[in-house]
Amino acid sequence: MSRHLQQFNKKISEIKLPEKFTFPFYYEPHALTEIATQELQQYLETQSDFSHNFGLKDGQSGKPIGKMFGVLVVQKPNKELGYLAAFSGKLADKSLPNKFVPPVYNVHAKDSFFAKGEKELNAINKQIADLEDHPRFLVLQLLVEAKSRFVSEEIRKGKEQLKATKKERKNRREEAEQTLSPDAFEALQEKLKDESLKGQFLYKQVVKEIKKDLQEYQEELETFTSKIKALKQKRKRKSKNLQRQIFENYAFFNQQKEIKRLTDIFPNFEEQQPPSGAGDCTAPKLLQYAFQHDLKPISMGEFWWGISPSTEIRKHKHYYPACRGRCKPILGHMLKGLDMDENPFLKNPAADKKIPIVFEDDAFLIVNKPPEFLSVPGKQIKDSVYTRMKATLPFATGPLIVHRLDMSTSGILIIAKTKESHKALQSQFISKTVKKRYVALLDGEVEGDEGYIDLPLRVDLDDRPRQLVCYEHGKQAKTRWKVVERKAGKTRVHLYPITGRTHQLRVHMSHPKGLNIPISGDDLYGVKSNRLHLHAEHIEFQHPSTKEKVQFTVKADF
pLDDT given for residue 452 in this prediction: 97
Residue 324, in any domain of the structure: yes
Cβ neighbours of 297 (radius 10 Å): 21
- Both 364 and 328 in a single domain? no
Residue in 445, 505, 458, 456 with CA at minimum distance from that of residue 481 = 505
pLDDT tens, position by position, 5-24 = 999 999 999 999 999 999 99
Pairing relation of β-strands 364-369 and 67-75? Answer: unpaired
Instruction: Provide the percentage of residues in the chain whose pLDDT is more than 70.
Output: 99
> Once rounded to an integer, what is the mean pLDDT over residues 484-510?
97
End-to-end CA distance of the chain: 50
Verify that 476 and 352 share a domain, yes or no: yes
pLDDT of 334: 97
Looking at the fold, whether 290 and 369 belong to one and the same domain comes out as: no
Rounded-to-integer distance, Cα 302 and Cα 66, Å: 13
Q: For the segment 155-213, what is each residue's pLDDT rounded down to a tens digit?
A: 999 999 999 999 999 999 999 888 999 999 899 899 999 999 998 999 899 889 889 98
Residues 150 and 266 in one domain: no
Same domain (yes/no): 271, 236: no
The three-state (H, E, C) secondary structure of 315-338, written as one string:
CCCCEECCCHHHHHHHHHHHCCCC
Mean pLDDT of 372-397: 95
Do 255 and 183 fall within a single domain?
A: no
Helix, strand, coil content of the chain in percent (nearest 5): 35, 20, 45
- Domain tally, the chain: 3
Whether residue 123 is contained in a domain is answered as no
pLDDT of 269 over the 70 cut: no
Q: For the residues 530-543, what does the mean pLDDT come to?
A: 98
Q: Quick one: pLDDT band at residue 272, thresholds 50, 70, 90? A: low
Instruction: Report the distance separating Cα 405 and Cα 227, nearest Å.
Output: 57
In a shared domain, residues 81 and 162: no
Q: What percent of the chain has pLDDT over 90?
A: 84
544 within 8 A of 420, measured Cβ to Cβ: yes
- C-alpha distances in angstroms, 463 versus 231, 321, 379, 510? 36, 10, 16, 17
Residues 375 and 322 in one domain: no
**494 or 3: which carries more pLDDT confidence?**
494
Q: Do residue 229 and residue 268 come from a single domain?
A: no
Q: What does the pLDDT read at residue 270?
A: 61
Buried b (16+ CB within 10 A) or exposed e, 421-434: bbebbbebeeeeeb
How would residue 358 be classed by pLDDT, with cut points 50, 70 and 90? very high
152 within a domain of the structure (yes/no): yes
Angle between helices 282-292 and 324-334 (to 10 degrees): 20
Instruction: Residue 429: name the closest of 451, 463, 401 by CA.
Output: 401
Does 15 reside within a domain? no
Q: Cβ neighbours of residue 347 under 8 Å, at least 6 residues apart?
A: none
List active site positions: 406
Based on the domain organization, do 228 and 277 belong to the same domain?
no
Sign for the CA dihedral angle at 108, 109, 111, 113 comes to negative
Question: Are both 297 and 403 inside the same structural domain?
Answer: no
Q: How far apart are CA 460 and CA 458, in angstroms?
A: 7
d(CA 516, CA 520): 12
CB-based burial label for 57 (10 Å; 0-12, 13-18, 19+): exposed
Full domain range(s) for residue 205:
130-246
Q: Are residues 83 and 174 in the same domain?
A: no
Q: Is residue 113 part of a domain?
A: no
Average pLDDT over residues 483-512: 97
Contact in structure between 427 and 482 (CB atoms under 8 Å): no
52 vs 198: CA distance, rounded Å: 78
Question: For residue 337, which of 47, 11, 20, 62 has the smallest C-alpha distance?
Answer: 20
Confirm whether 137 is domain-assigned: yes
Identify whether 25 is part of a domain: no
